[in-house]
Amino acid sequence: MGRYFQFLPFLLVSFLNFIKTNAQQEFLNCIYSHTSDKNIEKHIHIPKSPTYSYLLEYGQKNPRWLNSSSSHPIFIIAPINESDIRAIIFCSQKFDIQIRVKSGGHDYEGLSFRSKKGERFVIVDLFKLDDIYIDKNDETAWIQTGVTIGQLYYEIAKKGENLAFPGGLYPSVGSGGIISGGGIGTLMRKFGLAADNVLDARVMNVNGEILDRESMGKDLFWAIRGGGGSSFCVILAWKVKLVRVPSKLTVFTVRRKLYGETINLLQRWQNVSHKLSRDLFMRVLIQNMGIGSKRIVQVSFQGLFLGRVSELLPMLNQTFPQFELVTKDCFQEPIVNCAIGLPCIKKECFEVPWIRTTLYFASKRTNDSIEFMVNKTMPKRKNYYKATSDFVKSPLPKEVWGMIRTMFRDEERPMMIFDPLGGRMDEISKFEIPFPYRKGNLFNIQYMVNWYDNSENISNKKIKWLRKLYEKMKPFVSHFPRNGYLNYRDLDFGKNDGEYRYSNSRVWGEKYFDGNFERLAKVKSKVDPSNFFRFQQSIPPFSVST
């Protein structure tokens, strides 16, 4: 009798696998029977297929979780018709399967393509829903949410040099995510956020209904413009307002080592950058450059001006004469192959059409091909990273810059980016959309550390360093609550651990949305009371007692 018992574990595993496989097939059969697309099977990718592995790897712009069991969906579904998503929503509810909707894949914590361990989920990859319709006369565009920011910029440029869109900096970022999270960019001081320039939207709700601005109602339309659309519905498309820009704009960078006079420049920058002409956006980047004993901490003052060099230079020379930026600096390409990796030209500026400014802020040369904006090849070298953010209401004390320099010299590949606010941002109410960081906020800080070796020891060390820097900055940034930007999502702020209670979620929700979080939760209660659209930092339904 005993020899039969030795086969029980094997039989039990086989039986469970049979149940699992059978349930997955029933889920697929459900989708097949609820869609009119007879070829839907071709767009469903199962774990053993080469396309599944490719889509999973390509979709994770931060591949920290690629080898984690929590990042493997049971299927990846890449619909070619918006109506196919209705079947996915219906069948996922029927079989208690979660969905993760991926637009570009730049979610900093990977929540658009992974789930908690033990949760069954499918990825709805929208990359094939990438139609763009631009009305040049009306100066508007309808874009499906599989469209990347680079694709949108590329198509706008084909219509002429005087139209633009105030979106983000990196071409491969998906429009679905960046717009629904707010959309900080180089044009925001003139025109506001990407979300401030949304005129209409098409979404699919939990019941599979397609709604536009009128039929979804003002509350849901408010929530998806900066509150994170994936908590409420599936964003299908945006109608956005394009903006007019001059035929020639000026981009520039002035580089300094972080010590001495540069600290005075940084003090000057943080006191005036939000007060400058709204035609001028000038951010600060702090990075480690070089290797080993030649490592230095570099500060880059990088700007975009909506006008020509002849208009910019008098303005800069009055406010920042130490830059010593003159006309002859503005018409040469930088040499970047220096011995320790530093640009050999400490200052540069270029007068170019708007589309070439987007190349510049994507770390390309202004004379590179604009085809880069629509390039979808997978990077040859994986870059892993951890990031977080702050908003600043009062200028940082002088000693902060010395602390940053000390910490940066002890770490490889860290970065801080300071984006100035002010201008148009000050004129929009903090209640207009869920993004609340308007008048009274000087600038945003993004913290990031990168690494190439994702072994546990290396990744833990890098993340520990970033958390230490974030903690050291605590006395100098916004507080009660300490704020952060949704599109730089950070699970260290807090997360839902299965119960999705409003009271628990306030810990992180008010960091992102301040006083707008309660309204977001009330919208959630109306449009998704059963909390189908949920993940570790999703908006929960509102409740007074829990």
**Pairing relationship of beta strands 443-451 and 384-392 according to DSSP bridges:** antiparallel
Going by the DSSP 8-state scheme, the letter that residue 543 receives in this structure is: -
Q: What is the pLDDT of residue 62?
A: 87
Q: Which of 50-59, 139-148, 350-359, 441-450 has the lowest mean pLDDT?
A: 50-59
Q: Which residues contact 171 (CB under 8 A, 6 or more apart)?
A: 148, 149, 150, 151, 153, 358, 362, 372, 373, 374, 375
> 130 near 152, Cβ under 8 Å?
no
What is the reported pLDDT for 486? Answer: 97
Q: What is the pLDDT of residue 470?
A: 98
Question: According to the model, what pLDDT value does residue 336 have?
Answer: 44
Q: At what angle do helices 8-33 and 84-94 cross, to 10 degrees?
A: 140
Per-residue pLDDT at 151 exceeds 80:
yes
Pairing of strands 234-241, 140-144: antiparallel
State whether residue 302 is helix, strand or coil.
strand
Report whether pLDDT(2) > 60: no
CB 247 within 8 A of CB 217: no
Q: Pick the closest to residue 524 from 85, 228, 147, 310 (CA basis).
A: 228
Residue 191 DSSP symbol: H
Instruction: With beta carbons less than 8 A apart as the criterion, state whether 222 and 430 touch.
Output: no
User: Are 47 and 93 a contacting pair, CB within 8 Å?
Assistant: no
Q: Which residue has the tokens 């307002």?
A: 241
Dump pLDDT digits (tens) for 12-46. Answer: 344 334 445 677 899 999 999 998 888 889 999 99
The count of C-alpha atoms lying within 13 angstroms of the C-alpha of 391, restricted to the half-sphere facing its C-beta, is: 27
Q: What digits encode the pLDDT tens for the residues 265-292?
A: 999 999 999 999 999 999 999 999 877 6
Tell me, what's the pLDDT at 39? 85
Q: Which of 153, 154, 447, 488 is catalytic?
A: 488
- Whole-number Å distance between alpha carbons of 141 and 360: 24
Contact criterion met (CB below 8 Å) for 186 and 304:
yes
C-alpha to C-alpha distances, 436 to 474, 501, 515, nearest whole angstrom: 20, 23, 8
- Strand segments, DSSP code E, in 421-513 are 443-451
Question: Would you mind telling me the total number of residues written for the chain in this entry?
Answer: 546
pLDDT in tens, 231-261: 999 999 999 999 999 999 999 999 999 989 9
User: For the residues 353-369, what does the mean pLDDT come to?
Assistant: 93
Q: What is the pLDDT of residue 293?
A: 67
Spatial distance between the Cα atoms of 68 and 64, rounded to a whole number of angstroms: 8
Average pLDDT estimate for 193-220? 98
pLDDT per residue as tens digits for the range 311-325: 999 999 999 999 999
Task: Tell whether the model's pLDDT for residue 8 goes beyond 70.
Answer: no
- DSSP conformational letter for 98: E
Residue 154 · residue 167 · CB < 8 Å: no
At 332, is the pLDDT very low, low, confident or very high (cuts 50, 70, 90)? Answer: low
424 confidence band (pLDDT: 50, 70, 90) = very high
Distance of CA 336 to the CA centre of its chain: 28
Q: What is the pLDDT of residues 109-146, one digit of tens each?
A: 989 888 888 889 999 999 999 999 999 999 999 999 99
Catalytic residue check, 385: no
Alpha-carbon span 138 to 267, nearest angstrom: 43
Per-residue confidence (pLDDT) for residue 18, from 0 to 100: 41
User: How many whole angstroms separate alpha carbon 515 and alpha carbon 480?
Assistant: 11
Confidence of residue 337 (pLDDT cuts 50, 70, 90): very low
Q: What is the pLDDT of residue 543?
A: 85
**From CA 413, how far away is CA 381, in angstroms rounded?**
15
What pLDDT was estimated at residue 58? 86
Residue tagged 């914590």 (tokens)? 109
> So what's the pLDDT on residue 17?
46
CA 466 to chain centre: 19
Output the CA angle 329-334-339, nearest 5 degrees: 130
| Confidence (pTM) | 0.92
- Average pLDDT along the chain: 90
Q: Are 148 and 173 in contact (CB under 8 A)?
A: yes
List, for residues 471-498, the tens digit of each pLDDT value: 999 999 999 999 999 999 999 999 887 7
C-alpha angle 485/133/225, rounded to 5°?
25
Residue % of the chain over a pLDDT of 70: 92
Q: Is residue 351 scored above 70 in pLDDT?
A: yes
E strand or H helix that includes residue 513: helix 502-513
Residue 95 CB contacts under 8 Å (≥ 6 apart), including other chains: 23, 26, 27, 30
- Residue 87's pLDDT is what? 95
Give the pLDDT band (50/70/90) at residue 526. Answer: very high
Which strand ranges, in their side-by-side order, compose the sheet holding 443-451? 347-352, 249-257, 296-305, 280-289, 414-420, 443-451, 384-392
Separation of alpha carbons 433 and 224, rounded Å: 9
